[in-house]
Amino acid sequence: MSPPLVPAPASAVVRDAPAPDLSAGIRIEADPAFAAEGERLVVALGRGSAPVTIRRGDHPEEGYALRVAEDGVVIEAATAAGVFYAGRTLIQLAEAAAPTAVEIRDEPRFAYRGIMLDVARHFHPVETVFAVIDRASDLKLNTLHLHLTDDQGWRLALSTRPELAQLASGTSVDGDPGGFYTADDYARIIAYAAHRHMAVVPEIDVPGHTHAVGLAYPELVADPVIGDEVREVTAESGGALPVAGEPYTAIGVGFSSLRADAPGVDAFLADVFHELAALTPGPYLHLGGDEALGTSADDYRSLVDRAARAVAATGKTPIAWHEAGAAPLPRGTIGQYWGFLTPTDGHDDRARAFVANGGRIILSPADAIYLDMKDAPDAPLGLTWANGPTNVERSYRWDPAGVITGIDEADILGVEAALWTETLRTRADVERLLLPRLASAAEAAWSPPYGSMPARTWESFRERVAGRGSAWERDAPGFGRSPEIPWA
């Protein structure tokens, strides 16, 4: 029997024995290094009589051991992150219908476990970002990728380029209100994430997806290239075609680009990425690099090369969407694959290029864990371009090591779900599509390979997810209660 935990732990042995009633509260005895994590558990579970001992042990960096028995709870970990993840597991056990005596040894499969939130198509306030961090950290994800810029808006104030927030942030898709984060807002997001052992990876998308940049710096951006794809998307979804110098509020892609021959482009890239690096702890900056359909191949290679070198000059490691594998990149640049579970159009070749250059890959297959896809044909929110609606079962039945031929387990840095916001205006909209499919991505990122043990099956997953329904309803009312799951 698998305990009702999501993501599934690496090893869990359920004992036919009495267990403490964790819902009655806990009493913490913690190694001083883990006192803060102990206090977090007290706050989460309430004060009471069940004894919990937290001590240092020999475990992987984010790994832990957890023993729940009649005489109390013991957590062992080498780091505060390990204690935090043990605490997430303990809280899920406490929220289960009945106490469970269990011994767990657990560690993540991949080091990078992410959720991407697009705040450019629709701007979302700090409080909504906090809510996404809460849902993600509960599922043991450790990275928040913020898509901060796109054709529809620039969402971060920079002191070196104040015109970007002043002139390029005013609207969202469908003409909805825009907005931007101040430096203080961004610092609050970073601190909130760090408290939950999540890093922030900011994305400034270049050379494409830069129409909004042209509102502030028209000399840096080429005139829109209106191809068949943009016309088709506009006809299907509504809105107007892009016009240079005017805010863009439709959802077409691929028409915008920085100008490779603009004298100020290199200074722009240096200013933006240098300030972004100064604002952002952690090793990574994301430079985008996707869907520059109106950019010539030579200009694309030149601009991606220059952007990646601007990132590397800050001391950070660049991350780029897989198309950037066609360009010269600093050795070790990380690629993010957003193609399909069965690769098309040479997307897998572009991903393999990162590995050949000493980098690794983050997997975000669009037809599995692009959470902005509709979860049913009649769903009121979401899109369908990634092989039609993506139900919960399809979001779960895949394994990272099986997506791209020639990319081994060691070549994979991690897994990241993506939530684009063309149709998502509010926090309720975000949470409606975030859950339960975020749990599929979390399990792909944390747990052993799909099909490798009884708990890593669709049948087990749907039962375990069902047990999270009450907690999700409390924390994210209106989340997507898929009929595929036998909700408690």
Task: Tell me which residues are annotated as active site.
Answer: 291
Query: What are the phi and psi torsion angles at 95 (to 5°)?
Result: -85, -5
Beta-strand pair 26-30/64-69? unpaired
Interior/surface letters 259-274, b for 16+ CB within 10 angstroms, e for the rest? bbebeebeebbbbbbb
Q: How many residues comprise the chain?
A: 488
How wide is the angle at C-alpha 446 spanned by C-alphas 458 and 356, nearest 5°? 110
Closest of 159, 160, 133 to residue 146, by C-alpha? 133
The token duo for 284 is: 């990574």
> Which residues, in sequence order, are CB contacts of 177 under 8 Å at separation 6+?
123, 171
Interior/surface letters 417-437, b for 16+ CB within 10 angstroms, e for the rest? bbbbbbbbbebebbbbbbbbb
The token duo for 122 is: 């629709």
**What's at 10, amino acid-wise?**
A
Handedness of CA 143, 319, 443, 146 (dihedral sign): positive
CA distance 83 to 433: 29
The token duo for 464 is: 């375990």
Contact 418, 382 (CB under 8 A): no
